[in-house]
Every structure is written in C-alpha cells, then in structure tokens.
Structure 1
Amino acid sequence: MYADTPTRRRTPRVVSTVLAGIVALLTLFIGPWTESASAHGSIVDPASRSYGCWERWGNDHLNPDMATEDPMCWQAFQANPNTMWNWMSLFRENLAGNWQPAIPDGKLCSANDAQGGLATSLDRPGAWTTTDVDNNFSVHLYDTASHGADFFEVYVTRQGFDPTTDALGWGDLEQVATTGSYPPAQDITFNVSAPGRSGHHIVYTIWQASHLDQTYFICSDVNFT
C-alpha cells in the first residue's frame, strides 16, 4: 500500500564512488535541516488529495491516461511532481492553535503552500477523485515516524458546497469531531459522523502531532452515498 523500494540499476564502480562522495557532502551541509522533513504522515483513508494521486499514479506517473482519467492529479503533477511524491509534508510549525490566521481561505488544502511553491495545485477546485463513505465513517492516519497526536480536529463541508467549482474556505466547513490524544503509532484510526450530507464533499483533518508544535492540514475528497 505504501511506497515500494525503487529498483536499483547496476552502477559502474567509479561512478558509484563519485556519487557516494557527493551524497556525503550533501549530508554534511543539509543533513540537520532534512531530518525533520524526512518522515511524516497523512490521512490515507479517505485518501488525501496528494496521497490519492501517489497511490493511483506513483508507479505509473508517465501514463498519459492520467490527463483524462484523473485530471486533478494530472494538473498537480504538471505543476510540480513533488506534490505527488511529498504527500506526507503538508504541515506548519509553531502555530499555537491559531489555524485561521496562518491558513487563509482558498489555501486550506495546501496548508497555505506548506511545501513552498509545490502544493498550491491542491487548492484548485475540480473533479478530484472521491472515496465513497457513509455518514458514519472512519479516518485513518498513516504516520511513518509514529509521532502520535495531541488531538485531531475533523471538519466536513456543508451541504451545498461544490468542490468542483468552489475554493475551500473556513466558512464552508462544519466541525464534526475533536479527539483526545493518541500515543506514538504508525496507524491511528478513529470514527466520525457527518449526518445530512450526500454527494461530493471535502473532509478536512487537522492533526496536531505530539513531538513538536507541528500541525498538518489535510483535504480528503469523499462521496457520501
């Protein structure tokens, strides 16, 4: 379900030695800054926009059929392929619970471009692929680093909001769940209820990780059946 180990080709010994030296130098200079960004998590069910694109197309990202079969993933991939590959990194730090001043309307799904020019395509309205859910459904976090959670807040768009034409704002959301804390684990699942909805909606999950003041903002497209 998660990322496969890439197949490695044989590399000539001289080239391999040179590459090893380059990697060592890069590690020396950027290592301290990349450690905190090397492993995080996201909502995988119902799939977040970026995780869903990676799950469906990560091993087939050069397939031209993506343009017609999954146009929102296609536009995200064309804007910057890292939007797909970096599906675990939609977080902000040191917000102290002040979500709305830091994440303006129209920028909720990218966490106000949390990846620095990589994820604004996630905010675009359109025919995002949905996950079928009932009004009572579960939310599943997959966290490679097992950060745990101080809490989750889950919001769902109000009936009448149209994700295919409307950019998401805070006023479009209704909070449907607030959880307690969870100990460190790679998989965390909890139940929520969003009655009175049908059709295409956005589930907006805020995950406050426990290891730092690090907050994730995640859009998942669902179809209430």
Structure 2
Amino acid sequence: MRSHKPDQSGGRTPSPVRQSIRVLVVLFAMVVGTLPSIGAAQAHGTIINPASRAYQCWKTWGNQHMNPVMQQQDPMCWQAFQANPDTMWNWMSQLRDGLAGQYQARTPDGQLCSNALSRNNSLNQPGAWKATNVSPNFTVQLYDQASHGADYFRVYVTKQGFNRSTQQVGWGNLDLIATTGRYAPAQNISFNVSASGRSGEHVLFVIWKASHLDQTYMWCSDINIT
C-alpha cells in the first residue's frame, strides 16, 4: 500500500479530496462572515399599547389563526389573515427605508396603516377593528426587539367625527398631538400623549423614526376614548 509522504511539519500531506474540503470550508466561513445579521435586521418592533392592528391580531389569534370563529368574533383580523398571514407573523417589521422625513409626500392617503407596504394592505381596510379603551390622557408603549432607539415619534389621532368603520385613514383625517424627542436604545419605550376634546372610537397613528438607520415605521392602533 502506498503511504502519503510526510510534510515539513512531520505530519502527512492531506489528500486532494481533503484539501478540497478544507478549501470549501474556509470559503464558506468567509462568505458567512460577510453576510449581514439577518436576525438583527428583521427584529424591530411595534406599538403594543394601544396595540397596533397587526400586533392585536397576532396577539389574539396567532395561536388559533385557523379557528373559524375568528370570522364572526374578529372579522377585521379574519380578513387580514386571509389576505396575508405574514402581516401578523411579522408584526415587528413594518418599515420603509430612506424616506428622509418625507412621510406625507411618500405615503398616499388610504395607505397609512400599512406604511404603504402592499403586503400589509389589509391593515388599511375600514371596519370593526378591536379597540383599546383609553382615557383622554394615556400612555403609548413601543416594544423594540433590537433596541434601536428613536430620533422621535410623531403621534396623530383622527378628528372627531371620523368613522373608522367606513373610512380609510388619510392625512386630512388626522391631527398631530405629540412629537417626542430622542430616546436612547431600549426594548421598551413609553411616552404620554393627550387626545383631549375627543371621545369615542378613533384611530391612533404613530410614526417612529428609528435612530440606527433612516428607517421609518408607521402603524394604526384603534382606540376608544372614554
């Protein structure tokens, strides 16, 4: 049997097959090392109180999204799951890049609740979305998995008389009620807002300008001001 010749270090010279495997392993490691962290890139957040539409549907029905009773008990979540279940599974990833603060110019009326993302168009549909009861002065809470921090939040609420059951949210339906300052990176960020002068059912619309990149998040939360 023919033996391998020893190399200069006293070991055996690897076979061509082993050399090829080693090269492939090294190349694979180099490629993996250059890939961005997909988990971190997709791990963002949403308004969890008052719950954004996608988050409310996921929290309520995520474990039983095939349950037919949803169609009667929560018809807006039902239509959202029928349109695209990924809208709910990725409740933390409703973002657009590079808006440079041009929110109104680049977000058409009727597409605010989806952040103008066609895959989330079900969130724009008017109807009997489940609402969170709040007082005229209440706290908004963001949960951010990746702790990006915020350059600011802009908070709007629909005008008195807006009918969320029949109307899509447009810029003309909203009043700006708060613009916050910066927030350091944290998973949980809360701030107080006032919707005084309003009562009954409304839509809360929040813009989050994240600090790490030019990434903008927009959500609608349904509220009942008592």
The 2-side partners of 1:203 and 1:47 are apart by 10
Tell me what 1:38 maps to: 42
Tell me what 2:203 maps to: 202
Deviates more, 1:35-44 or 1:64-73: 35-44
Tell me if 1:68 matches 2:69.
no
Contact 2:131 2:224 in 1 (8 A): yes
Q: 1:73 is aligned with what amino acid?
A: C
Percent identity, aligned pairs only, is: 60
Contact 2:159 2:174 in 1 (8 A): yes
Contact 1:46 1:221 in 2 (8 A): yes
Q: Secondary structure at the match of 1:119?
A: helix
Tell me what 1:182 maps to: 183
Change in Cα spacing, 1:135 to 1:168, as seen in structure 2 (3 Å) is same
Tell me what 2:121 maps to: 120
Tell me what 2:163 maps to: 162
Tell me what 1:4 maps to: none
Tell me what 1:9 maps to: none
Q: Which consecutive residues of structure 2, in runs of 5 or more, have no partner in the other structure?
A: 1-27
Give aligned pairs, total: 196
The 1-side partners of 2:41 and 2:184 are apart by 20
Pairing of 1:57-136 with structure 2 (within 5 A) = 57-113=61-117, 117-136=118-137
Contact 2:139 2:190 in 1 (8 A): yes
Q: Secondary structure at the match of 2:80?
A: helix
Residues 13-42 of structure 1 show CA distances to partners (whole Å, capped at 9, x for unaligned) of: xxxxxxxxxxx9xx96xx548456420000
Change in Cα spacing, 1:209 to 1:135, as seen in structure 2 (3 Å) is same
Please give the root-mean-square deviation of Cα atoms over the aligned residues, in Å. 1.7
Q: Secondary structure at the match of 1:99?
A: coil
Residues 110-165 of structure 1 show CA distances to partners (whole Å, capped at 9, x for unaligned) of: 0111xxx4200000000000000010000000000000001000000000000000
- TM-score, length-scaled by structure 1: 0.84
Contact 1:37 1:89 in 2 (8 A): no
The structural deviation recorded for 1:100 is: 1.0
Tell me what 2:55 maps to: 51
Q: 1:206 is aligned with what amino acid?
A: I
Q: 1:183 is aligned with what amino acid?
A: A
The 1-side partners of 2:146 and 2:85 are apart by 23
Pairing of 1:16-35 with structure 2 (within 5 A) = 32=36, 34-35=38-39
The 1-side partners of 2:174 and 2:37 are apart by 35
- TM-score, length-scaled by structure 2: 0.83
Which has the larger Rg? 2
Tell me what 1:223 maps to: 224
Residues 89-120 of structure 1 show CA distances to partners (whole Å, capped at 9, x for unaligned) of: 1111111110012110000000111xxx4200
Q: 2:55 is aligned with what amino acid?
A: Y
Q: 2:146 is aligned with what amino acid?
A: A
Residues 180-210 of structure 1 show CA distances to partners (whole Å, capped at 9, x for unaligned) of: 0000000000000011111110000000100
